Amino acid sequence: MSRRLLIAGNWKMNLDSRGATALARAVKHEIVQRKLDRDVMLAPPYPYLDTVARALEGTPILLAGQDLSRHESGAFTGEVSAGMLIDLGCHGTLVGHSERREHGGDTDDTVRAKLERAIRSGLSAVLCVGESESVRETGAAASMAFVEGQLAAALAGLTEEECAKALTIAYEPVWAIGTGKTASTSDAAAMHAHLRASVANLYSEALASRLRILYGGSVNAANAADILGASEIDGVLVGGASLKIESFGTIYRAGAA
Ligand code: 13P
């Protein structure tokens, strides 16, 4: 089954409001001009969601949060709810990014709860999974078992229909994030195939064959075409290289006919 590619930019904690607006406008210009058969998603920092939403108005570019609260509303100082993201025009949100797991204390249980909150509130969700360097060092089989465990824990409360409607998976090996090291395309593709088989096991072949699985971790203008060329890889989640239109634009066009 051919799955439409998704090119997603995670701006992390970067830019200011002028820079965010300028970058959003530049991405809009690129997408409107090229009109490739690919989806584009941008995840700016929370304070710039509104300004980026305005800059993207009238385009098919999908706006996303970088995280969300597991709670619906209430006394949760500093947190942002699914409803607020929707209110600001978000289509979706990242969930379980390794930086939230590492610095924000997200456990597998938190990730499961956030994923359910996102999808049941009407957001699409990009669920991030990936092994650390120390797990990687123990071998490919151990890495696959670890990532499969993260996946199963996160999906524990979701129905097949919910996954079909709103779920994308992003495989982001932690050792490749921001390091300039990428998984080889064949290693990444093997992990994607393993994740797809896990989804088939947990739910069905039908869901597994239509679910998009993105790769993230030091994707850049030079390596994107190779990564996007792998049939198991349905798009990319880009950090650093999404902050400049030159590199993000090149990644958007990479390998396109
Ligand atoms: P880099 O592309 O900067 O390695 O970050 C990847 C990432 O974490 C995207 O979510």
Give the Cβ contact number of residue 198 at 10 Å: 19
The SS3 call for residue 85 is helix
Question: Could you give the CA distance from residue 219 to residue 101 in angstroms, rounded to a whole number?
Answer: 21
Give backbone dihedrals phi and psi of 109, rounded to 5 degrees, phi first.
-70, -40
- Answer yes or no: is the C-beta of 92 below 6 A from any ligand 1 atom: no
SS3 category, 138: coil
pLDDT digits (tens, 9 = 90+) for 225-255: 999 999 999 999 999 999 999 999 999 999 8
SS3 state at 245:
helix
Beta strands 212-216 and 62-65: pairing type?
unpaired
Domain range summary for the chain, segments of one domain joined by +: 5-253
Per-residue 3-state assignment (H helix, E strand, C coil) for 154-221:
HHCCCCHHHHHHHEEEEECCHHHCCCCCCCCHHHHHHHHHHHHHHHHHHCCHHHHHHCEEEEECCCCC
**Does residue 173 line the site of ligand 1, with CB under 6 A?**
no
Of the chain, the percentage scoring pLDDT greater than 90 comes to 96
Binding site membership of 239 for ligand 1 (Cβ less than 6 Å):
yes
Distance CA 36, CA 40 (A): 10
Rounded Cα gap, residues 240 and 216, in angstroms: 11
Ligand 1 centre distance from Cα of residue 10 (Å): 7
Q: Is 103 a catalytic residue?
A: no
- Which superfamily, per CATH, for 5-253? Aldolase class I (3.20.20.70)
Evaluate: CB of 130 within 6 angstroms of ligand 1: no
Which residue in the list 172, 192, 194, 232 is annotated as catalytic?
Answer: 172
SS (H, E, C) 48-61: HHHHHHHHHCCCCC
Say how far apart CA 115 and CA 106 lie, in whole Å.
12
Residue 244 Cα to ligand 1 midpoint, Å, equals 13
Does 99 qualify as catalytic in the annotation? Answer: no
CB 25 within 8 A of CB 58: no
Nearest to 216 by CA among 233, 237, 195, 230: 237
pLDDT in tens, 148-205: 999 999 999 999 999 999 999 999 999 999 998 888 999 999 999 999 999 999 999 9
What is the reported pTM?
0.97
Give the count of alpha carbons within 13 A of 235, CB side only: 25
pLDDT tens across 74-113, in order? 999 999 999 999 999 999 999 999 999 999 999 999 999 9
Q: pLDDT band for position 1 (50/70/90)? A: low
> Which ligand 1 atom lies nearest to the CA of residue 242?
2
d(CA 174, CA 193): 19
Query: What does the alpha-carbon distance between residue 228 and residue 2 come to, in Å, rounded to a whole number?
Result: 13
Question: Within 13 Å of residue 163, how many CA atoms lie on the same side as its CB?
Answer: 27
Three-class SS state of 92: strand
